[in-house]
Amino acid sequence: MLQLQQIGATSAGLAYIDLLSYRDKLMELLLFSSASTSTGFLAHVAQEIVKRRNGRQRALFIPFASVTTSWDRYTDIVREALKETGLEIRGIHEVVDSLSEIARADCIIVGGGNTWRLLKECRDRAFLDAVPKRVRENALYVGWSAGVNMACPLIATTNDMPIVDPRGFAAFGLIDFQINPHYTNAVPEGYGGETRDERIIEFLTANPTARVLGLPESDWLHISSTQAELRGETPAMLFLANQPPREIPLGLLPAF
Q: Is 160 a catalytic residue?
A: yes
Pairing of the two strands 36-37 and 40-41: antiparallel
Selected catalytic residue, list 145, 176, 219, 222: 145
Selected catalytic residue, list 76, 182, 218, 224: 182
203-222: b (≥16 Cβ within 10 Å) or e: bbeebbbbbbbbbbbbbbbb
Selected catalytic residue, list 44, 66, 93, 160: 160
Q: Is 44 a catalytic residue?
A: no
Q: For residue 51, how far is the Cα from the chain centroid?
A: 19
Q: Is 145 a catalytic residue?
A: yes
Q: What is each CA distance from 145 to 43, 51, 66, 158, 179, in whole angstroms?
A: 15, 21, 12, 9, 10
Q: Catalytic residue numbers? A: 145, 160, 182
